[in-house]
Structure 1
Amino acid sequence: MLQTAVLILAYIVGCFSTAYFLVKLQYGQDIRTLGSRNVGARNAGRMYGSKAFLITFIGDTSKAALVVYAAGKVTSSLTYLLLALLAVIIGHIYPVFLGFKGGKGMSPFAGGALILDWRIFLLMLALALVFLILSRRFSPAGLTAILTFPLLIFHFQHSWTNALIGLLAVFLILYAHRSNIMEIVRSWTT
């Protein structure tokens, strides 16, 4: 019962959109009507500068880190911790309080992955940096790096179940980034 309650709470925490509240309180505007209309760190940064980006990134990363950490206090099951990470990502992408239109999931993914297994996080970060140097574009670098998440989970945890949960988290993030992915494909083919 407690484990189910924590997963529901993880979704609710995921629904807290740092950019939405930051822009609403600081500037009196709705970020969902500005720029890309996304409530993530990149749009906050585009509209209000690096400080807004940083505050949003830290807020959205921290909420997932806190959720995975708290789930670890309930049980040591890595499967359960992955489910908690998945729940917070779902809340971030599909927040009930914002009409199920939220961010794209990269920031909470990063925060949760760091707490889940720092080795996996550091390997993905290293891959992202390599891809960033090669492509000189942030989105392709990050999206390419997270594709390794299920493989790294299987490598370190030796669990098909956990790898599949990781794959579902990656699929949700890629689906949220589908317009970015189409832009990247178009830019490489023209």
Structure 2
Amino acid sequence: MSSTPLYLVAFALSYLVGSLPFGLWIVRLLKGIDIREHGSGNIGSTNAGRVCGTKAAAGVFVLDVLKGLLPPLIAHRFGLSSLGVVLCALLSVIGHNFSVFINFKGGKGIATSLGALLGVAPFVGLGALTVWIVLILATQTVSTSSIGAACLLPPLCIFFYRHDTPLLSFCCVACVMAIAKHKANIARLKAGTEPKIRFPWSAKSDLVVVNSLDSTPVSSTLPTSQKAQTSQEKSPDVP
């Protein structure tokens, strides 16, 4: 019973750390605007990059990963049980997805889930990251890569950690949350209207730039019919 306060404090702090909306704060600091009113409206690293550039995206990504990684590592350092450590990891992801600082709204939890997995199940985290990289190179679609990596979390956990029930439960919950958060993206993927990102070696027609939540893509390389179709869609939501 004496350890109960320690667990409660650890759980509360894990959620609060996960809730820190770094994407919102960094974009507001750099440009004085609300990232939720621009691009996809998401507070994740890709939308931060769309609004503020590559350096902002990198900063948000690293911070979002860290806020998933640090809670379970610190919980382990303070002697919490394996279940307690996994719950701290899960609460950090829940905090990102449903942040107390922005009316219990948030991002999609992909970067934070990666950090949490690196803290409690590093082989699963590295495996999922590898899958994400392969899919993004193959499809140039962030949502496809994120959903694909999320769907492989439970199988990867079973493969690497066998019968670790707390870890498997965490992977299953993280998978479900990621898919649920990508509901709009899935609809666009089915309709064939999900925009792609552009690599230096990709065709110009793959580039879609959106200036605000409901604005029309400004890429002059898109066919007229595709411009008209894309103008009815938001840009893709991302981690």
Normalised TM-score (structure 2): 0.73
Match of 2:168 in 1: 163
Amino acid at match of 1:177: H
Amino acid at match of 1:70: I
Amino acid at match of 1:8: A
- Correspondence 1:46-57 to 2 at 5 A: 46-57=50-61
Q: Equivalent residue of 2:33, what SS?
A: coil
Which is greater in Rg? 2
- Offset of residue 62 of structure 1: 1.0
- Offset of residue 53 of structure 1: 0.6
Q: Which one is further off, 169-178 or 12-21?
A: 169-178
Match of 2:138 in 1: 134
Q: Equivalent residue of 1:32, what SS?
A: helix
- Correspondence 1:3-152 to 2 at 5 A: 3-75=7-79, 77-152=81-156
CA distance, structure 1, for counterparts of residue 59 and residue 136 of structure 2: 22
- Offset of residue 167 of structure 1: 0.6
- Offset of residue 110 of structure 1: 1.0
| Identity score, percent | 30
Does structure 1 residue 185 correspond to structure 2 residue 190? Answer: yes
Q: Which one is further off, 117-126 or 7-16?
A: 117-126
Q: Equivalent residue of 1:179, what SS?
A: helix
Bigger proportion of residues as helix: 1
Distance 1:51 1:5, change over 3 A: same
Q: Which one is further off, 44-53 or 141-150?
A: 141-150
Q: C-alpha deviations, 1:111-168, integer Å up to 9, x for none?
A: 1111222211222222223323332323212220121212222333312343123211
CA distance, structure 2, for counterparts of residue 56 and residue 141 of structure 1: 19
CA distance, structure 2, for counterparts of residue 15 and residue 129 of structure 1: 26
Q: Equivalent residue of 1:19, what SS?
A: helix
- Offset of residue 92 of structure 1: 0.5
CA distance, structure 1, for counterparts of residue 70 and residue 142 of structure 2: 25
Q: How many residues align?
A: 188
Contact 1:154 1:162 survives alignment (8 Å) = no
CA distance, structure 1, for counterparts of residue 143 and residue 186 of structure 2: 8
CA distance, structure 2, for counterparts of residue 106 and residue 115 of structure 1: 14
Structure 1 vs Structure 2 CA RMSD? 1.8
Contact 2:124 2:157 survives alignment (8 Å) = yes
CA distance, structure 2, for counterparts of residue 48 and residue 90 of structure 1: 26
Contact 1:154 1:160 survives alignment (8 Å) = no
Unaligned runs of 5+ in 2: 194-239
CA distance, structure 1, for counterparts of residue 97 and residue 11 of structure 2: 16
Q: Equivalent residue of 2:192, what SS?
A: helix
Unaligned runs of 5+ in 1: none
Contact 1:65 1:111 survives alignment (8 Å) = yes
Q: C-alpha deviations, 1:37-92, integer Å up to 9, x for none?
A: 11111111111111111111011111111112112113364332221111011110
Q: Where has structure 1 moved over 4 Å in runs of 4 or more?
A: none
Q: Equivalent residue of 1:97, what SS?
A: helix
